[in-house]
Structure 1
Amino acid sequence: MDKLNKNNSFGVPDGYFDTFSSDIMKKIAKEDASMPPNEGFKVPEGYFETFNTRLLEQLESIPAETKVIPLKSYKKHYYTAASVAAVVLLFLVVQFNSDKTPSYSDLANSDIENYFEFNDLELTSYDLAEILPIDDLDLNDILEIRLDNDNIIDYLDSHIEDFEELNMHNDD
């Protein structure tokens, strides 16, 4: 043993195992004396003598075929499949009942304005001029404030001195 464990610092006193069993028996006897007689469990008289015969009788009375109870229940899977089927069915019913197809007139003006405001179309003013029909375009379509003829005449009266300034014909 000295050859195997040269670096082992643990040791056992000499003669320790010679008196080991007697020391344990003394401790058990001391604990039995300190234990009150009313504590612990009581076994009826002759319980262990008839235990084997009673156990065999109970085993023989069990039917050969017993009901097997699966540990994993499949009800959860059935409920999940039923809920998915219900959602799909509801989706299909809603799709088939909607006869109306969305059109351009269904969109709110604010939705259209938000789309053009927040989406970069990369169109220049020249591109827009080519796309928009000028013949159908009215000045009031572009301006936010609607111009009435009375407002235009009032503005011209207050800001223009001579009516000839409005003449835009070049006779040259």
Structure 2
Amino acid sequence: MDKLNKNNNFKVPDGYFDTLSSDIMKKIAKEDNSMPLNEGFKVPEGYFETLNTKILGQLENIPVETKVIPLKSYKKHYYTAASVAAVVLLFIMVQFNSDKTLSYSDLANSDIEHYFEFNDLELSSYDLAEILPIDDLDLNDIMESRLDNDNIIDYLDSYIEDFEELNMHNDD
């Protein structure tokens, strides 16, 4: 209301609404006498007396069995319910099939070797030595075939003549 145009040129005279209803009633009383009686629409003589019987006569001619056409179609509701059920079923199936989480053991060794072979990691052997913990590393982890202690001792017996060359102490 504060933003109304204050330069409005339309004004209502003082006391206009106080006498408005009495002025309107005076004009209506003057016009009732001046209305012409023969102008406007005319209704034929006896029209309303015979109207009721004409309507009932037309109703009797209507066949008793009529086809009722529903205004509201329920097919839309069936289609909506079926589509919602399909979406829920699809969602449940996707959730059921996606429960399996992949882990490092699921990868094939050939995939891992292929990745390291064809992707340049820019890591030198010194960088790898710093990253890999030596305490947890076992020789059998590096080699493809496992070495048994018996095989190692047999090898050393056959090819090494002096154990002292290996700087090993034999407590046997």
TM-score range normalised by the length of the shorter chain: 0.3 to 0.5
TM-score by length of 2: 0.39
TM-score by length of 1: 0.39
